[in-house]
Amino acid sequence: MDDFPTTLPDDPDALKALVLSLGAQVRSLEAAVSTRQLIIETLQIQLAALRRQRFGRKSEKLDEQIAQLELKLEEFQADEAEDPAPATEAVKAARTKRARKPLPDHLPRDTVTYPAPACDCPNCGGALQAIGEDVAEQLEFIPASFRVIRHVRPKFGCTQCDTLVQAPAPSRPIERGMAGPGLLAHVLVAKYGDHLPLYRQSQIYAREGVELERSTLAECKRTATASFA
């Protein structure tokens, strides 16, 4: 309804036609909103049913269905937020004047300094002197990465009695396992905290070039859970 007239016609027939046209537009918008709301409510009902069923039986396929429904529901709700009702000029002005929240102070900050393009004044050639600076902050995300920790234990032999001296091997969360404590904690939090199935974790790790089968993750989860219990 962006073409809403600013003035009304004096002719009764033209005024009647305008009212009928606006009424048709309103009914069309109401029908679209009702349809979208019905789809959202249907997805919510299906999602609630799957969640109740999840307590009865655990399966990776059920987790995948729940994740897909949650994604669809988020898309519809995002569309609702991106397509609000037309705002008045006063509301638009209030939104424009609204101050943006500063980024949290506890986040670490990396500073990138951009030097002046020249050391001398481009107009007169005089020396430049710092008089201030403009600072703009940008929120960035650094993805988590895999690292290989190499435990090196040098061996020393006695030249007199052939005694071997070496530092003891560090303890591991899983005996003879290759998974470090950080990786195990990440798998458990993703599984139980973020409800991320093991097969999806395996796919995510594969994109990083690390092949971790679901059976391997399941064994790590089982052993780690038993160790932490």
129 occurs within a structural domain: no
What is the distance between the alpha carbons of residues 112 and 60, in angstroms, rounded to a whole number? 45
| Least-confidence region, from 9-13, 50-54, 188-192, 214-218 | 50-54
What integer best gives the mean pLDDT of the chain?
77
Is the Cβ–Cβ distance between 223 and 215 less than 8 Å?
no
71 occurs within a structural domain: yes
Full-model pTM: 0.50
Binning pLDDT at 50, 70 and 90, where does residue 54 land?
low
What is the distance between the alpha carbons of residues 2 and 146, in angstroms, rounded to a whole number? 52
pLDDT of residue 148: 92
90 occurs within a structural domain: no
Domain extent at residue 40: 12-83
- Dump pLDDT digits (tens) for 95-153: 555 667 888 889 889 998 888 777 777 788 788 787 888 888 888 888 788 899 999 99
Is the Cβ–Cβ distance between 196 and 187 less than 8 Å?
no
Domain total of the chain:
2
Of the candidates 68, 65, 60, the residue with the CA atom closest to the CA atom of residue 215: 60
- Dump pLDDT digits (tens) for 25-40: 777 777 766 777 777 7
- Other Cβ atoms less than 10 A from the Cβ of 43: the count is 18
